[in-house]
């Protein structure tokens, strides 16, 4: 028995509105009114949450870039350490601040941050 392989581009088409023999290629809608469905748009559905949205800490901190702040970190089980400076950037799991006293740039772990105070 010979195994014949036919490439997909040589197969008879079934994607036309109507096949050559007059039979519709696509069956009519199973549910009435199916062709009248509306696409999902921002007006019909709530806005999708991304890391840039202000509901997340990353998104809120991005709105505060350039402001003077004090960030308190929890080190270990009971030690709080604070750093003061200007918020420079916010990443996915870190922030960078420029210290007031030395103008050094510090990269801070995002998950050890407990409190952030912004000075206006």
Residue extents of the structural domains in the chain = 57-119
Structure tokens at 53: 């949205």
Q: Which numeric CATH code is attached to 57-119? A: 2.30.30.520
Strand ranges in the chain using DSSP code E only, listed in sequence order: 68-75, 79-90, 94-99, 105-109, 113-119
pLDDT tens digits, one per residue of 50-62: 767 788 899 999 9
pLDDT of residue 31: 52
Q: What is the pTM of this model?
A: 0.59
DSSP states of 51-75: TTSTTSHHHHHHTTTTSEEEEEEEE
Is there a contact between 108 and 97 (Cβ–Cβ < 8 Å)?
yes
pLDDT of residue 17: 54
Angle, CA 49 vertex, CA 47 and CA 55 arms, to 5°:
110
């Amino acid at each position: 028995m010979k195994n014949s392989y036919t490439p997909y581009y040589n197969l008879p088409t079934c994607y036309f509105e109507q096949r050559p023999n007059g039979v519709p290629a696509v069956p009519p809608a199973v549910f009435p009114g199916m062709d009248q469905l509306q696409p999902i748009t921002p007006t019909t559905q709530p806005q999708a949450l991304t890391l840039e949205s202000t509901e997340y800490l990353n998104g809120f901190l991005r709105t505060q870039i350039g402001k003077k702040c004090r960030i308190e970190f929890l080190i270990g089980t009971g030690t709080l350490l604070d750093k003061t400076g200007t918020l420079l950037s916010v990443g996915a799991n870190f922030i960078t601040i420029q210290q007031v006293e030395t103008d050094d740039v510090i990269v801070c772990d995002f998950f050890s941050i407990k409190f952030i105070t912004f000075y206006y």
